Amino acid sequence: MTPDEVRTQATGPTAGLAPGYAQANLIAVPEDWALDVLLFAQRNPRPCPVLDVTDTGSPRTVLAPGADLRTAIPRYRVWRDGELVDEPTDVTRYWREDLVAFLIGCSFTFETALARAGVPLRHVEQGRNVSMYRTDRQCRPARRLHGPLVVSMRLVPAELVAPATAISARMPAVHGAPVHVGDPSALGVADLARPDFGDPVEGEPGDVPMFWACGVTPQAALVASRPPFAITHAPGYMLVTDVPDSEYELAGG
């Protein structure tokens, strides 16, 4: 599938779709909360690397110039006062002229490079959404926004932990190196089989859990901080952009 085909036809999670193209998280808030979100992102660059910010009211992004942000994502979440009120597949009727939308890097973007290096992607193989967890680490607050770090988790054969770390480390704009490898309890995650977002994924003997900062972190901040209104993607249902993954890869050092 091309990025445009994913944007117009996909109905499920987007991991593994349109390989080679960067994917992005969405959070749109009223303009009077935009500084809070942008500052929260600046202070928490691991979970919230900003790839683009729209002009107020505009559903257009430079990351996918032909796309309409109100329809290009397979599933959205609509939030009022920090409560999830709807999970539609189109947010045209919820869009407001005062919304500012933030597109934030997504770890699905380095999965093509992981696969190329022989790292199995268990969630893609099993046709499931990636597992995501709320951690016990707090983000650095910004104005009215605060909340915990959210991580995505991948089960990686022990001998591939080092290359998976090195490959992702070269892509800081899509979360970069893992924040933790090995012990879920070090992040306050009690049970890998019960993710807070996405699906449980089964590992194989010798697999090690690797945890990356996740662009669902702003959604946990919405719950904690209760702004009056927001629109986000649904976790794992991303905006597929027209930007090649390689755009976010650091040049050889």
Applying CB under 8 A, the residues found at the interface with its own copies are: 31, 34-35, 38-39, 42-43, 50, 53, 55-56, 143, 169-170, 250-253
Those residues with Cβ within 8 angstroms of residue 27's Cβ, 6 or more apart along the chain or in another chain: 37, 101, 102, 104, 218, 219, 222, 230, 231, 232
Closer residue to its own copies in complex, CB, 158/169: 169
Dihedral-angle region of residue 206 (phi above 0 means left; psi in -120 to 50 means alpha; beta otherwise): left
Closer residue to its own copies in complex, CB, 190/251: 251
Nearest distance from C-beta of residue 100 to its own copies, angstroms: 8
Closer residue to its own copies in complex, CB, 55/86: 55
Nearest distance from C-beta of residue 34 to its own copies, angstroms: 5
Nearest distance from C-beta of residue 102 to its own copies, angstroms: 9
Strand order in the sheet with 148-157: 131-138, 148-157, 207-213, 180-181
Which string of DSSP letters, residue by residue, matches 34-51?
Answer: HHHHHHHHHH-TTT--EE
Nearest distance from C-beta of residue 116 to its own copies, angstroms: 17
Closer residue to its own copies in complex, CB, 43/194: 43
Which string of DSSP letters, residue by residue, matches 38-86?
Answer: HHHHHH-TTT--EEEEPPTT----TTSTT--TTTSSS-EEEEETTEEEE
Q: Which two tokens stand for residue 133?
A: 């967890």
Determine which helix (DSSP H) or strand (DSSP E) holds 210, and give its type and residue range.
strand 207-213
Closer residue to its own copies in complex, CB, 35/84: 35
Please say whether the beta carbons of 219 and 77 come within 8 A: yes
Closer residue to its own copies in complex, CB, 205/253: 253
Q: What is the DSSP letter of 201?
A: -
Nearest distance from C-beta of residue 129 to its own copies, angstroms: 29
Please say whether the beta carbons of 231 and 202 come within 8 A: no
Nearest distance from C-beta of residue 177 to its own copies, angstroms: 9
Cα dihedral sign, 123-128-130-132: negative
Nearest distance from C-beta of residue 52 to its own copies, angstroms: 8
